[in-house]
Structure 1
Amino acid sequence: MTIIQQPLQMKQVSRGHYLMRNVLKHNVVFNEGAKGDAAYILTEGKIEISGIIEGHKKVFAILKPISLFGEMALFLDEGTRTATATALEDSKVVVVTKDDLQEFLRESPKVIAAIITVLVGRLKSTTRKAMQVPSVGMGVVRTLDLMADHGITTIRYDKTVRSLADTFVTTPERIEGYIHGLADQRLLVVGRDENDTRIIRLREKHLFNEIMRSKQE
């Protein structure tokens, strides 16, 4: 997809002079991993914030006016974008540079600066949590363990693989690898039912406990 760079135009916002950028639908404001030197205030339109986890796109938020985004690059030491921002419709954003933000913090009352500091801390924490993916292998084990605990010992193979892949934002092949690994440990059986439908049959009711016990031995 070709990204069309829109010309920037000066516009007075609040007490200072900031850049107003027009972003056409489907255009990218910034990409994950790119160097960041500005934050943005969405004044019109809709912006999607997303990232790539385990090779799959994950949408973190859909922003509507008035929203601040892209500020993480101004506060994180490495100054890189932690997500991608894409316009879902024709949008307008105000460009706020690091110098603009620092000036605002200097001139704002202390209470406002304190609130902004807390907000930034929460945003950092949220971003870190969103980008952290739990152990897929243990996630598969815990999910199957929950099923077994509720008396569900026979499940469809294909549907289970797809559901687990979607849940843990990974590939079906990786999920299959974990399932067959559990089969090799004789904790479950991969086979077919009387209708020749591929199934998974759980052999252990407390699958998670068995896995933890085997790791300790």
Structure 2
Amino acid sequence: MTIVTQQTVQMKQVSRGNYLMRNVLKHNVVFNEGSKGDAAYILTEGKIEISGNIEGHKKVFAILKPISIFGEMALFLDEGVRTATAIALEDSKVIVVTKEDLEEFMRESPKVIASIITVLVSRLKTTTRKAMRVPSIGLGVVRILDLFSTCGKLELKYDPTVKTLSETFVTTPEKIEQYILGLADQGLLAIGRDPGDVRIIRIRERDMLNAVMQKKD
């Protein structure tokens, strides 16, 4: 069992004053599995271990080196619970990225954030498949679609999107289709075909997350 002492964290503003740089000492915890998540992290220096508890045993999902993003579920789900533990294997530096930070960054650099979305989805599939507990899959789907729309990506191939989302949130394709068809019934999405007769999802509402939240009120 690893004994972790009270960590000393230094924080300073970086990148035009919008982000925080956090220094994490060797063996200190960035976040624990089961804790509430409100930010993601970009590793710029050092090495981070991502692990989880599988059937009572520690399972190392990944050893991250710069530049890597982790803790990304917090950017997609409200009341998200951390599905893994992140520990510094050596003195490290991470940039703290909140949901608000991400939204601002998307407005400034949509091409870069489109690449980050690809990384996030891939990471979600490979590191949280066995242990993830998602409090709101529907809202997670909305958040991902909202990120694509913010980047100007308004048409998605239907079958690959359903498959990726089902693997990401560890659920069935049928369940994802229920959420997508529900959004279509609300007029936020349209299901159609492209000129090549490939089934697609058209995002009709650019600010999808806000639109969904307003409908809940």
Q: TM-score range by the shorter chain?
A: 0.5 to 0.7
**What displacement does 1:2 show?**
4.4
What residue is the counterpart of 2:76 in the other structure?
75
What residue is the counterpart of 1:17 in the other structure?
18
SS in 1 for 2:101: helix
Larger Rg: 1
What residue is the counterpart of 1:33 in the other structure?
34
What residue is the counterpart of 1:166 in the other structure?
none
Output the CA distance in 1 between the equivalents of 2:113 and 2:67. 19
Q: How many residues end up aligned between the 2 structures?
A: 130
1:120-140 residue CA offsets vs partner (Å, 9 max, x unmatched): 2222222342438xxxxxxxx
SS in 1 for 2:100: helix
What residue is the counterpart of 2:115 in the other structure?
115
Output the CA distance in 1 between the equivalents of 2:106 and 2:74. 16
Q: Check the 8 A contact 2:9/2:24 in 1, yes or no.
A: no
What does residue range 27-176 of structure 1 map to in structure 2 within 5 Å? 27-109=28-110, 111-131=111-131
Output the CA distance in 1 between the equivalents of 2:96 and 2:117. 20
Report the TM-score, using the length of structure 1 for normalisation.
0.54
**What displacement does 1:77 show?**
4.0
Determine if the alignment matches structure 1 residue 5 to structure 2 residue 17. no
Give the alignment's Cα RMSD to 1 decimal. 2.0
Q: Check the 8 A contact 1:3/1:28 in 2, yes or no.
A: no
**What displacement does 1:11 show?**
3.5
**What displacement does 1:106 show?**
2.4
Output the CA distance in 1 between the equivalents of 2:95 and 2:117. 21
SS in 2 for 1:122: helix
**What displacement does 1:115 show?**
3.1
1:170-205 residue CA offsets vs partner (Å, 9 max, x unmatched): xxxxxxxxxxxxxxxxxxxxxxxxxxxxxxxxxxxx
CA spacing shift, 1:43–1:119, aligned 2, 3 Å: closer
